[in-house]
Amino acid sequence: MSNQDNNTLKVGMVFISMIFFIFGFVTTFIITLSEPVREAFDLSFTQAALVNSAFFLTYALFSIPSGTVVKRMGYKSSIVIGLIVIAGASFLFFPAIQIESYLLFLGAIFLLAMGVVLLQTAANPYVTELGPSETASGRLNLTQSLNSIATWLAPLLIVALIIPVADADITAVAPSDLTTPFMLIGVVVLVIGIAVKMIKLPELSQEGLGNFSSTFKYKHMILGAFGIFAYVGAEVGIGTTIASYIVEPGLGGGISRELAIKFVGLYWAGAMIGRLFGAISLSDVKDKSKKHLMALGVMIWAFIVGYVTLDFTLNMALIFLGFAIANYLLMQLGTGKANKVLAIFAFIAAALAITSMLSSGRLALWTIVTIGLFNSIMFPNIFTLAVKGLERSEVGLASGIINTLVVGGAVIPPIMGAVADLAGIQYSFIVPVLCYVYIIYFALIGSNIKPTQEQTPTTTSGV
């Protein structure tokens, strides 16, 4: 590869990382917003849950059409369109809030999610194609780590811009308190959209005979799509339940609402730390001492994140650091293999959820919050394993199919809610445990199921 081509790929990775940051921030912002929205519009818990439903329903409806858009228009144009849609939807929140229309508010969320779906459908396969297939999982872990930085910051933004406004007046959140964050999102995303339109990004050909029917012959891709359903459902279900769970006296310790939301931020920050470790472990860096030095830097960052997120409390930052170190050491058991690391982490996540179910107090709190560390590499590893061996012309289409199953984020949380109503919130975590069991199956068995010999394509994409 020439220096010019290598520099072009680096530029592509920089800007695509910004895209991952955007849709990570927007997604977690919406997920965490349900409680403030419930207060702002004086809603029931069921009505407030429609915030997440309106967002994740779009994955079921628009992921496959988004795959068609990506194939026809290319990765760059699809990304620009997605950014413009997100910006436009963000500005639509202003009239919705001004007239206090929850229906229009949900409509804006639905439109915003359409832009996110298009971004994600284009961005994930684009990253896997930006270099050798052997390091595709490492690249996707790296960009997903930028996504996770955004998911860490989103709850903190809610605390900074929304919660204090309400607390100052000793009242519930008002609709007008929600305006500023959405206006900021709209402006920033619009500027980035214009920048992406103007710069030169690597153009990756999608020529070929690939179509939706041809992608369905890849059984490992279909099983991977259900793996995404299980992963997103478990991650979102836990993420939306943590705040309610840990404020319960006797369960998570009965902490304050503000600190509970910060622990939600720490849960998403765990995904950031784990993905940074994953990017290092699954990279093409051969020097082990260099890898360990890079991992040390991530550990220092984990301590800083825990210290800043949890009100500069040293002992809690050290606890988070301890879990982060364990995360990195357990990752080494996977010997750099995406499927082995995935299986190990799914097993650990299930064990942590079960431990939280069977305990109380700070043990229940920390074992549920630190699942975020082990969720970290699941999406990039599942996605990479699911599209491995597909024709280049099929990858964008397969991404649409896989992203359709992100609708797990709309399905699993209500199931957890139903279990919580019947048996108690503590036992709702049995649902994500079952999700992790399926992910273990996909990692060890499902990801190895290939097309039959007569269906196997004569050429491969190098993904």
pLDDT of residue 260: 80
312: left (phi over 0), alpha (psi -120 to 50) or beta: left
As to burial, measured by CB atoms within 10 angstroms (0-12 exposed, 13-18 middle, 19+ buried), residue 249 is: exposed
Structural domains counted in the chain: 1
pLDDT of residue 225: 94
8 Å CB contact between 200 and 11? yes
- Residue identified by tokens 């997605």 is 82
Residue 296 maps to a domain: yes
Residue 82 maps to a domain: yes
Q: Which amino acid is at 403?
A: N
CA distance 264 to 325: 20
Output b/e per residue, 135-154; b: 16+ Cβ within 10 A.
bbbbbbbbbbbbbbbbbbbb
pLDDT of residue 3: 54
CATH of the domain at 98: 1.20.1250.20
Other residues' Cβ atoms within 10 Å of the Cβ of residue 99: 10
Other residues' Cβ atoms within 10 Å of the Cβ of residue 171: 11
Nearest-CA neighbor of 235 among 178, 289, 275? 275
Residue 461 maps to a domain: no
pLDDT of residue 457: 41
Domain that holds residue 36: 3-198+212-448
Residue 345 maps to a domain: yes
Residue 454 maps to a domain: no
pTM summary value: 0.76
Q: Where is 172: in which H helix or E strand?
A: none
Each residue's pLDDT expressed in tens, for the chain with a length of 463 residues = 455 555 556 666 777 778 888 888 888 788 777 767 877 888 776 677 788 788 888 888 988 888 888 878 888 889 899 999 999 999 999 999 888 899 999 999 999 999 999 988 888 777 776 766 666 666 777 777 777 677 677 767 776 777 655 444 555 667 777 888 889 889 989 998 888 888 777 666 555 545 666 777 889 999 999 999 999 999 988 988 887 788 776 665 567 767 887 888 889 889 889 988 888 887 777 788 888 899 999 999 999 999 988 878 899 999 999 999 999 999 888 777 889 999 999 999 999 999 999 988 888 889 999 999 999 889 889 988 998 888 777 777 788 889 889 889 888 888 888 888 888 888 999 999 999 999 999 999 999 876 644 444 433 333 3
Residue 207 maps to a domain: no
Residue 89 maps to a domain: yes
Nearest-CA neighbor of 39 among 102, 125, 119? 102
pLDDT of residue 454: 41
Length of the chain: 463
pLDDT of residue 5: 54
pLDDT of residue 313: 87
Residue 325 maps to a domain: yes
pLDDT of residue 89: 94
Question: What is the distance of C-alpha 406 from the center of its chain?
Answer: 10
pLDDT of residue 370: 93
